Amino acid sequence: MTKSLLILAGDGIGPEVMQQVIRVINWFNEHKHLDFEIHEDLVGGISYDEHGQPLTDQTLEKAKNCDAVLLGAVGGPKYDNLDFSVKPERGLLKLRKELDLFANLRPAKCFDALTNFSSLRPEIISGLDIMIVREATSGIYFGEPRGIIDDNEGGRIGINTNRYTTNEIRRVARSAFELAIRRNKKVCSMEKANVMESGILWREEVSIIHKKEYPQVELTHMYADAGAMELVRNPKQFDVIVTDNLFGDLLSDCAAMLTGSLGMLPSATLGVIRKSGRPYAMYEPVHGSAPDIAGKGVANPTACILSFAMALKYSFDLGKEAEVLENAIERVLAKGVRTADLMQERNKQPASTEEMGTEIINQLDFSL
């Protein structure tokens, strides 16, 4: 059965890292007979340059009709002065909103070969494997009212609204509990129920879903600021963390740097299950467009490739194939192959983007 992928390489280093993903997809088509059908289109700044908007209706329609979307990165300094409504990032937010991609999955896993690369002591970080589930379509990034208005006293007022409904909280809580069942049956819910009404509602609704539907999962609650401290003090106490849009944005970046490099971290954003049995889904690396190194062929493609591994798991139920890919990457790192972002030895030549892709392909061949 054909599986359709829409590739939106985007801006900056997006196109060059995505080329390595395409090589990996083609390898699986050839050697594992997975029959992926690749479609490509524009998003972000490159879409604005071509069409005057960061996401066209035609591209959005393609995203709705494909089984999954793979995205590279969006944005860059050349777009800083654009009106807010057409900034590259608005294309990404529109994709999430229109596809109703409400559960953002951000794994933070420390590969054995990179333990010494973390700023934390090896005994704290070794074996780290946690998942942060961030609500992605509501909260302060989408709530109304919002804007900047005059205060009639010579100044201005900036307004954002952190708004959540019962349904929005319950469905992302279910996603977290379902993940926990497949992992170690532990969920920690993070909010600020001590100072925010939205946090009080969050804690109450997560607790209701836990009691009614997932009593076999251990549930704990933690204030988000305390959670940030615990992530850098003792991160392995956590397995699945579920939190809102704003805190999820902050906590997942904090967790990401525990592993040493954003260039190693993928993400998935999932929506409702369609008639096909597959969820609406978008997969992307955590790193940004990195315009300072774009076009130089030095970007680390690993996070983008691992995002495809997440697609294999969560969109196509191909966990064994995802493990083959993850193990290939583990072996490449164990050999000492490093892109520039992972270099600690100054006298060693870093691998280029294409060379890293080739090393991963070689290890995939080794797995046959």
- Residues with active-site annotation: 141, 192, 225, 249, 253
Which DSSP letter does residue 16 get? H
Token reading at 333 = 């790192």
Token reading at 244 = 């809102």
Residues 6+ apart with CB under 8 A from 87: 54, 75, 79
CB contact at 8 A, 340 and 298: yes
CB contact at 8 A, 308 and 299: no
- The Cα 273–Cα 82 span in angstroms is 36
Token reading at 11 = 């801006």
- The Cα 46–Cα 42 span in angstroms is 6
- The Cα 44–Cα 31 span in angstroms is 33
Which DSSP letter does residue 138 get? S
Angle made by CA atoms 266, 267, 271, in degrees to the nearest 5: 155
- Integer angstrom CA distances of residue 48 from 4, 53, 82, 142, 316: 25, 4, 10, 22, 32
- Give me the helix-helix angle, 14-31 and 353-366, nearest 10°: 20
Residue type, 229: M
